[in-house]
Amino acid sequence: MSDGDGEAGNSAYGRKAFKRSRSHFADRITADGRDGWPVEPGRYRLVVSRACPWASRALVSRRLLGLEEALSLAVADPIQDDRSWRFTLDPDGRDPVLGIRWLSEAYDKRETGYPGGVSVPAIVDVPSGRLVTNDYQQITLDLATEWRALHRAGAPDLYPEARRAEIDEVMAEVYRDVNNGVYRAGFATGQEEYEAACAGVFRRLELLAAQLERQRYLVGDTITEADIRLFTTLVRFDAVYHGHFKCNRWKLTEHPVLWAYARDLFQTPGFGDTVDFDHIKRHYYQVHTGVNPTGIVPLGPDLAGWLTPHHREDLGGRPFGDGTPPGPVRPGEEVPARGRP
Ligand SMILES: N[C@@H](CCC(=O)N[C@@H](CS)C(=O)NCC(=O)O)C(=O)O
């Protein structure tokens, strides 16, 4: 799955050229439990930051598939400290289920003295408190396929077998040029490196737009994993990638096709209701001090446009295929008003 660039540890924010390395903990939670981690309702806890695009994929998948009951959720503070992701949004600064203050405690339980970065998304085994996986490329694919027995009635097939080759191909291009491309532009420390990454972002987005002008979703006529992965970058585009990461050839709101596509998904239950623009902006602008030394968080952009009509229904498509949209957000998991349009 990975093309060789994977993990964004703290070093990613330093002076060296930006390089992702692979996720370290790549055990899989599967229906047959072959890695020792069988799918079981209530056994695992998904730890995310709503700021993080990689973790946000899992937030969307979990909602679309109706896994909220089976896989509980911990939301970390968008601002890490020197011990990384922490649960300061919870009473007493402790995750109420795992009883820990920092996600690193679950990493330590899994591997003493683990030298790598602590990253989200992470799935933790609740009974033992041990980290199971931080493999963000695999987590959502497994939610879509291995967790099927626990999906809600009417859950969509986000990774349909017949279209996997096509979905994989689109996701690889989107990952390289867009999902990770914005990071390569934003953390570039040389002009040429920045220009190549930034040009790559917009080249790929234009290619995708040419396709999305004619069809409602990236692959077939229903929402798939490929749409989730493009959405999590697009939804951050004007808020952080355009300014902070200097991907500023145009704003998403200036691109009729992609802006309508992103709004369509945002307004689909399970997408926009997971997005916290306050967490997104504070994380990027305050944590990446190499890029933004003052830590000042901009007031804009105006978010009201996210809720305006998109008219993408005119292209046809069946968002959930033979399934249905998910119900309302679980009580206690709503995004606070300050993070919403
Ligand atoms: N590094 C992760 C990918 C996800 C990722 O990069 N997450 C970021 C947040 S967007 C993270 O947690 N970085 C570690 C840090 O900022 O301390 C992995 O390889 O599994």
In this predicted model, what pLDDT tens digit does every residue of 198-212 receive, in sequence order?
Answer: 999 999 999 999 999
- The DSSP 8-state label assigned to residue 103 in this structure reads T
Q: Given this model, what pLDDT does residue 4 score? A: 32
Determine the atom of ligand 1 nearest the C-alpha atom of 120: 12
Reported confidence tier of residue 9, pLDDT bands at 50, 70, 90: very low
Residues of the chain with CATH 3.40.30.10: 10-150
Is residue 183 among the annotated active site residues? yes
State the distance between the two ends of the chain, measured CA to CA, in whole angstroms. 34
- 161-339 — its CATH code? 1.20.1050.10
pLDDT (mean) for 91-102: 98
User: In the predicted model, is pLDDT for residue 14 greater than 80?
Assistant: no
Note the pLDDT of residue 113.
Answer: 82
Tell me what percent of the residues of the chain surpass a pLDDT of 90.
Answer: 91
Sheet with 130-133: list strands edge to edge.
72-75, 44-48, 122-125, 130-133
Pick the residue whose CA is nearest to atom 9 on ligand 1: 52
Residue nearest to ligand 1 atom 3, measured at CA = 7
Report the pLDDT averaged over residues 35-45.
98
Q: Are 84 and 56 in contact (CB under 8 A)?
A: no
Q: Decide if domain 10-150 falls under CATH 3.10.290.10.
A: no
* pLDDT tops 70 at residue 10: no
Mean pLDDT of 95-99: 98
pLDDT category of residue 20 using cuts at 50, 70 and 90: low
Q: Is the CB of 120 under 6 A from ligand 1?
A: yes
* Residue 18 confidence class, pLDDT cut points 50, 70, 90: confident
Ligand 1 pocket test: which of 119, 133, 184, 233 has the largest number of ligand atoms within 8 Å of its C-beta?
119
Domain with CATH 1.20.1050.10 in the chain: 161-339
